Amino acid sequence: MWGGRFAEGPAAVMREINASIPFDKRMWRQDVAGSKAHVAMLAQQGIVSAEDAATIDAGLDTVAADYAANGVPEDLVLEDIHMLTEAKLAEGIGPVAGRLHTARSRNDQVATDFRLWVRDAIDQVLAALAELTSALLARAEEHADAVMPGFTHLQSAQPVTLGHHLMAYVEMVARDVSRFRDARARMNLCPLGSAALAGTSFPLDRQMTARALGFDGPTRNSLDAVSDRDFALDYLTAATQTALHLSRLAEEFVLWASQPFGFVALSDQWSTGSSIMPQKRNPDAAELVRGHSGRILGCMTGLMVTMKGLPLAYSKDMQDDKPPVFEAHDLLGLSIAAMTGMIQSATFRTDRMRGLAESGFATATDFADWLVREAGLPFREAHHVTGRAVKRAEELGVRLDELPYAEFQAIDARVNESLYDVLSVDASVASRTSFGGTAPANVRAAIAAARESL
């Protein structure tokens, strides 16, 4: 490739460090698509003949068929997928293949290919997140009435429903979807035609190539177009946030599957055993999802550090832009699929959840609210009265709704027996009808709205 300028070939180590074909071969479909759009435009503009363009287009189809059937060979001499494809094209159609690179540089070529790849990756993630959302909605609907303890500081706080708890993750995933959609819209401009950095003197129709490749239009500045990797960082940022949400859900599954909680039993498909302890049933899939979030965050950090000090326009450092994106995409796909499978197949032990919700004085706030609403106490005073009732119930070893009426009267004479109507966990969750609250009716309305949005 460098024969006109260099008398000697590169050292072996230089050849290895310089080659990106071991990882950028994943972009062969995008590279072929970009080349086909480019040569069609060159013919339309009269820069190459229609005959040569047709030959090149057919030759690219042959190269693509070979890649699909036999894989992409890793030829370090040819460095990357772009030069490999051109070389294989030349093998098939001869010197006319050399016309393909007219008015194009590897700089705008790789920027285009990578955008196309990331755009495809976003579409894959969006489809996977839709499946995850559907799984969450199905289980939330199934358990819209199932009472469980809600926690703050991992201490029993107030009763909620399992459906409401699962719907919290539907909200998180919806924000993840919005970030990926935003990233896709922002990146959907075509760098092809920017050439090395300054544009080209050939009369290109960049709108034509942009349309052919599904972009909204061409990029507006050639220097920025070949050096911009914001789209990759946007992808990694969205992927990292998604991974953090998956990690939180995975952590809850790990806790819930433990014997002290006993809230969920994971299916055999998503559990493993121990090599020494026959009784063990380990939530390894959830733990791996939790671990993958750290690796995805590392991918984002790595590319940010690579890009942070680069001058315009292209620098070879940017060859290292693709491995972190590829790694993060693979890990994210596995994580979403694993969490979707775990949610779909999990057995939720709702009796255990209800039992713990009833045992932790979780309706104490309902007592305080009753004192404000029915007895006219300021909330702070009601808070103190309720605290004394909880202390007394704890001393007697009973639930708050089991505390004898005489004990309530001894604590505050303004209490009457209608208090017991609000102290059950079912009454508590049913009363939380404020928008976004845990009442089963709210949960079902939220599920319906989410399904419509999905």
| Active site amino acids | 153, 274
Tell me which H or E stretch contains 93.
Answer: helix 81-93
Token pair of 212 as six digits? 């052919």
Task: Report CA dihedral (375, 376, 381, 384) to the nearest 10 degrees.
Answer: 30
Q: In angstroms, how far is CA 181 from the centroid of its own chain?
A: 11
Amino acid letter for position 301: T
User: Do 281 and 266 meet the contact criterion of CB atoms below 8 Å apart?
Assistant: yes
Q: List phi, psi (to 5°) of 244.
A: -65, -40
**Furthest C-alpha separation in the chain:** 101
Read off the tokens for 15.
């050849």
What residues have CB less than 8 Å from 351, skipping those under 6 apart? none
DSSP string for 7-68? SSPPPHHHHHHH--HHHHGGGHHHHHHHHHHHHHHHHHTTSS-HHHHHHHHHHHHHHHHHHH
Asked if 220 and 207 count as a contact pair (C-beta separation under 8 A), the reply is no
Q: Strand 347-348 vs strand 264-265: parallel, antiparallel, or unpaired?
A: antiparallel
Tokens of 194: 């920017």
User: What is the rounded distance in angstroms from the CA atom of residue 300 to the CA atom of residue 248?
Assistant: 19
Helix, strand, coil % in the chain, rounded to nearest 5: 70, 5, 25
- Residue among 319, 292, 290 nearest 307 (CA): 319
SS3 state of residue 430: helix
* Contact assessment for residue 340 and residue 137, using Cβ atoms and an 8 Å cutoff: no
Rounded to an integer, what distance in angstroms lies between the CA atom of residue 8 and that of residue 197?
27
User: Cα angle at 25 between 194 and 333, to 5 degrees?
Assistant: 100
Angstrom distance (rounded) from CA 41 to CA 32: 14
Q: Are 251 and 289 in contact (CB under 8 A)?
A: no
